[in-house]
Amino acid sequence: AVGGAGAARLVETPDGPVIRSGGEGEAFSRRVENWFKRAAREFLTARTEVHLKSLGQKPVRVSIVDTRSRWGSCSPHNRSIRYSWRVIMAPAEVADYLAAHEVAHLVHADHSPAYWAVVHRLVGDHRPFRQWLRDHGAALHAVGR
């Protein structure tokens, strides 16, 4: 859903992609944040569906939320997964790892060796992605605060 002419949009430039938006101050910030939330919903929903299919799992409800510290959460009992919109600012493979991490909780609701085996089946060695979040997570959680 793209808004009016003032809505934030991604523009390819000779120096790489740039987000452009109308508005000033709060209006500008809100439009850019909304763009990130839309991008997060699109990417994370798609990657969640890929991982669900890989594991033969039924669909889940995906929510994009504004969390202060967590990247995601899974509620197996009501088949819902929540993601922080800020993870969309991480490299795509890190955001994909997060989707795999949460989907794997539908199989094992803990962080046991069996759980990590499921994550490994979905994304291979998860350690670099977890390390990236440890190294850069605080900076991403600070965006927009």
Segment 36-52, tens digit of pLDDT? 999 999 999 999 999 99
Question: What class does CATH assign to 40-142?
Answer: alpha beta
pTM higher than 0.85: yes
pLDDT digits (tens, 9 = 90+) for 6-39: 778 888 888 887 888 788 878 888 888 889 999 9
- 16 Rama class: left (phi>0) / alpha (psi -120 to 50) / beta: left
pLDDT value at position 2? 44
Residues 104 and 107: their CA atoms lie apart, in Å, by 5
pLDDT category at 69 given cuts 50, 70, 90 is confident
pLDDT value at position 68? 81
pLDDT value at position 53? 98
Residues 60 and 13: their CA atoms lie apart, in Å, by 37
Both structure tokens of 71: 């990247």
**Any idea where the domains of the chain sit in the sequence?**
40-142
pLDDT at 3 over 80: no
Q: Which residues pair with 81 in a beta bridge?
A: 62, 74
Name residue, tokens 């990130």.
36
Q: Mean pLDDT check: name the lowest of 9-18, 32-41, 57-66, 67-76.
A: 9-18
Name residue, tokens 């991490």.
101
pLDDT value at position 5? 55
The one-letter amino acid code at 44 reads L
CA contacts within 13 A on the Cβ side of 41? 13
